Amino acid sequence: MNKNICKIFIFLCILGFYSTSMGAAISKNDPQNVSPQRLQTVPETKFREIFQKYLYRNLNNQGCDVVISRLKITGNVPVPDGTISFQQYQKGKRRFEGNVNLIVVVKINGMVKNKVKLSGWVDIFQPVVCASRDLKRGERISKDDLYFVKRNISHISSKILTDMNKIIGFMAKHNVKKDTSLKEWMFEKFPIVDKGDIVTIIAESGDIKVTAPGKVLMKGYADELVKVQNLMSKKEIYAKVVNGSMVAVDF
């Protein structure tokens, strides 16, 4: 009798322990008892800041003003809590004025968690080179013929001039009206010598210097090679244009 009572008692203890263990396991696996993941949301002001800094970093222009309008942010959903970082890139051809699209990769603890698309209109006001007077075809350009004015280049050809040194000393291909925003294709190099000009051909090596008269056979530009005829030997050679009356050859 006592032995049977002991067996029943042991059985009940084992059954109670098993029930408790199963209950704990079920409790742990119950989704309702799992703590929710902490999330964070990137404020839109942060994306506007990223967009603006990306433009300034890539424009790399002095004296330009950037105005961003109609900025649209797509796909900004909450991401897991953690250390956040960003990476930006543009698909296809990069452009920094007019309609600009940018992809921002959102990383948490170094892992990609989201991609946000930014789209906005960008106006860039930058100093451009303009004609200070009417320029006639064939006229040689000097610094006094040019001036800077700040204009919105988002609506102007990408070939617009922002450095007047690129055309000083060049000549106008055609007539240009005063205050026109200038482009490089409007100008060409000014020839220092022309076909038929008589020049001095000079060859130097140390203390030895030899000269001869020559006749230019083509248009020639400063520091470039031009074809000339040695009037003494009648030979045709190529020489570098030094100025309007002298060309140089290697000796």
Instruction: Write out the residue limits of the CATH 2.30.30.760 domain(s) in the chain.
Output: 198-249
Q: How far apart are CA 114 and CA 76, in angstroms?
A: 8
Environment class of 246 (CB within 10 Å of its CB; exposed 0-12, middle 13-18, buried 19+): middle
| CATH architecture for the domain at 198-249 | Roll (2.30)
| CATH architecture for the domain at 126-188 | Alpha-Beta Complex (3.90)
pLDDT in tens, 226-251: 999 999 999 999 999 999 999 999 87
95 pLDDT band, cuts 50/70/90, is: confident
Residue keyed to tokens 């100025």: 243
At 24, phi and psi to the nearest 5?
Answer: -65, -40
pLDDT in tens, 121-145: 999 898 999 999 999 999 999 999 9
Token pair belonging to 38: 């902490």
15 pLDDT band, cuts 50/70/90, is: very low
SS3 assignment, position 15? helix
64 pLDDT band, cuts 50/70/90, is: confident
Q: What is the mean pLDDT of residues 202-208?
A: 87
19 pLDDT band, cuts 50/70/90, is: very low
List of residues 6+ apart from 45 with CB closer than 8 A: none
CB atoms within 10 A of CB 182: 24
* CA neighbor of 77 nearest in space, from 113, 118, 37, 36: 113
Rg of the chain taking only CA atoms, in angstroms: 39
> pTM (2 decimals)?
0.58
